[in-house]
């Protein structure tokens, strides 16, 4: 999955892990991304995507390190914009700064540079464990990520069992700020309407016996980037294998949502 769209005069792509992971081993993927770059498209990357790619570098081992690091070298040369983590981004939009951990945007830029500069997997492993590194536990990031999702989807299941109606926007806003100074739920509904719709749809599905944690994890991970990703549309990975001309790149940004 990757996204592309237009904001003003700027063309923007948000490539997903399943696209970037093939950069070093699938020429069609490389050609598509390079073509988009030559034609003026800019790239934004979600933090979970970088963590997934870094874990893939470690899982691939020494034999595939040169191949797997190529995407980080490319990201470094393109000076891609790293999206905020959902919680800080939402807090800033809602006027109530908040974060759950110590990792910030500049740490992700450091991760890209760390892998790019490493000549071997062993060198990267040493770099990530250096004093002051934010990535000494990158190998545990999947476990941490899964624990967060388990907790959040668990909360949805608890909410789904409550009797009567439930104002998700109001309750979510209560997790920001302090008592008596929470963000206005109307602001949440305005800026994060897609995320709210996803949560409400999930509640309805859970009440019907569905398990969204199993089937909709990726959608959930991207839901709270809605406001930031203005005019961006979802495109399938198969687009990377359909040529690299400008007309196709432009069409991808105009045709709307695709599975």
Quick: pLDDT tens for 173-183. Answer: 888 887 778 99
Q: Which of 8-12, 93-97, 105-109 has the lowest mean pLDDT?
A: 8-12
* pLDDT value for 239: 45
The whole-model pTM stands at 0.70
Any idea which of 94-98, 161-165, 180-184 has the lowest mean pLDDT? 161-165
| Residue 217 predicted with pLDDT over 70 | no
pLDDT of residue 10: 58
The answer to whether residue 89 scores a pLDDT higher than 80 is yes
The percent helix, strand, coil of the chain (3-state, each to 5) is 60, 10, 35
**Stretch (H or E) spanning 250:** helix 246-252
With a cut of 60, say whether residue 235 has pLDDT above it. no
Q: How confident is the model at residue 259 (pLDDT cuts 50, 70, 90)?
A: very low
Angle (CA) 143 98 131, round 5°: 55
The average confidence (pLDDT) of the chain is: 76
């Amino acid at each position: 999955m990757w996204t592309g769209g237009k904001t003003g005069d700027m063309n923007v792509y948000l490539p997903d892990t399943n696209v970037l992971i093939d950069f070093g081993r699938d020429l069609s993927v490389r050609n598509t991304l390079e073509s988009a770059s030559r034609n003026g498209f800019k790239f934004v990357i979600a933090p979970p995507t970088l963590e997934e790619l870094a874990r893939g570098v470690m899982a691939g081992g020494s034999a595939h390190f040169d191949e797997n690091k190529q995407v980080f070298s490319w990201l470094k040369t393109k000076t891609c914009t790293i999206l905020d983590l959902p919680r800080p981004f939402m807090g800033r939009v809602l006027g109530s700064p908040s974060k759950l951990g110590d990792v910030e945007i500049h740490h992700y830029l450091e991760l890209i540079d760390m892998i790019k500069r490493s000549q071997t997997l062993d060198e990267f492993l040493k770099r990530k464990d250096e004093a002051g590194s934010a990535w000494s536990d990158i190998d545990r990031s999947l476990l941490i990520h899964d624990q967060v999702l388990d907790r959040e989807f668990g909360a949805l299941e608890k909410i789904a069992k409550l009797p009567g109606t439930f104002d998700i926007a109001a309750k979510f806003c209560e997790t920001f700020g302090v008592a008596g100074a929470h963000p206005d739920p109307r602001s949440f509904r305005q800026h994060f309407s897609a995320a709210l719709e996803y949560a409400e749809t999930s509640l309805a599905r859970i009440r019907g016996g569905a398990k969204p944690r199993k089937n909709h994890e990726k959608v959930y991970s991207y839901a709270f980037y809605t406001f930031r990703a203005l005019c961006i549309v979802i495109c399938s990975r198969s687009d990377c294998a359909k040529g690299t001309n400008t007309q196709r790149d432009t069409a991808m940004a105009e045709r709307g949502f695709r599975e």
